[in-house]
Every structure is written in C-alpha cells, then in structure tokens.
Amino acid sequence: MNSPIHIRPDILTYSGRYFDFLNPELNDYNIRDIAHALSNVCRFAGHTREFYSVAQHSVLVSRVALSQATHVSEIPDVGIAGLLHDATEAYLGDITRPLKQLLPDYKVIERRVEAALFAAFLVPNPLPKIVKHADLVMLATEQRDLMPQHDDEWTLIKGIEPLPEVINPWHPEKAEREFLLCWKELGAGL
C-alpha cells in the first residue's frame, strides 16, 4: 500500500529561492524571477494564434498607461503598476478570468499574493484606474490581433478601442529583456 505523497506549499523559483503560498508576505520577491516566469507564461491559457507572453502584455500595459498619464507625478506609480499588474502570475500561473470566477479559494490566495507583492514593490493597491483601463485596451487589442476569429462580443471590452498598432509577439527571451529594460527605465533599478 502506497502512502500519500506530501507536497510542500512552495515552489522553487528561477533564482533558486522558494516561494511559499501560505505566507506570501514573507517571500523575497525578485524582479528577475518575475520577468523570467512571465516571459514563459502564455496569455489566454495558450489559446492564441501564436505564443504571446504575460511579460509582453505587462510591458505594453505599462506603456499604454504611461502614454495616458496626465501629470508627471503619476509616471513612476503608473508605469510600475502597469508593469507589475499581473506579476502574481509569475507564481500562480495565468488562470483565465472565467475559471477564476469558479475558484473562490484561488481568488483568496491570489489577493494575498498580490497584496504582498504590491507591498514589496510599492505598487499602489488598488491599482490606479489608468492601469485598469490600459489593461482593457490591451485586452481589446489582443482579442483583435491574437485570438481566433469569432462573432461574439466580449462585454468586458465593450466600447474599448484597441490600439491602432498590431501586436507582434516576442520570443520569451526578448519579452524578459524588454520587461527588465522597462523596469530599469522606470527608475526601479535591478
């Protein structure tokens, strides 16, 4: 008779640190871990016409949010918040929005990790409205450029104009580099 396997509540990250799901506020968050992991996570659970990473999405959300900032004082907070708005996915994966609605326990864990991560990087919580809007602009653009053709309308992005530019997906290595470059350009350092 086999004994049950005990799985620890943590994962080993790219940098060799352990990430504890039960105590997210005690984790040592590392921007390189986040950049690397997000560059290897595909948006939309991989149901895109070609690989498109959460890291690239995050860089583009940051750029859109920065382009819409009206005051110079908003720029650091908005840029970093845009870049890190999906950073929990570096540890939790990209769970699709419809599935999250069916997993209340997952949402509790996600909120705890998000609060700890945002506190570690001084990201405003809740996120600025400009970042939430930039995320929707990117969703509308991603739907147009990366998703299969369909004839229904996503109510979440009703009335949201996609970017005029077409998204050209980056390879994971480029997505990681661009994420870290964006982080550095925002004055956050490495």
Choose among 45, 44, 42, 61: nearest CA to 53.
42
Residue 46 tokens, joined? 């991989």
**Residue labelled with tokens 């005051």:** 71
C-alpha 31/C-alpha 181 separation (Å) is: 11
What pLDDT, on a 0 to 100 scale, did the predictor assign at position 190?
60
- CATH fold of 10-185: Hypothetical protein af1432 (1.10.3210)
Q: Are 82 and 66 in contact (CB under 8 A)?
A: yes
What pLDDT, on a 0 to 100 scale, did the predictor assign at position 1?
60
What pLDDT, on a 0 to 100 scale, did the predictor assign at position 177?
98
Amino acid at 71: H
What pLDDT, on a 0 to 100 scale, did the predictor assign at position 118?
97
User: In order along the chain (190 residues), what is the average pLDDT of each group of 10 residues?
Assistant: 79 97 95 98 95 98 93 77 97 90 92 97 94 97 94 90 97 98 84
Q: Residue ranges per domain, the chain?
A: 10-185
What pLDDT, on a 0 to 100 scale, did the predictor assign at position 159?
95
What pLDDT, on a 0 to 100 scale, did the predictor assign at position 30?
96
Residues 6+ apart with CB under 8 A from 70: none
What pLDDT, on a 0 to 100 scale, did the predictor assign at position 40?
98
Residues of the chain by 3-state class (helix, strand, coil), percent to 5: 55, 5, 40
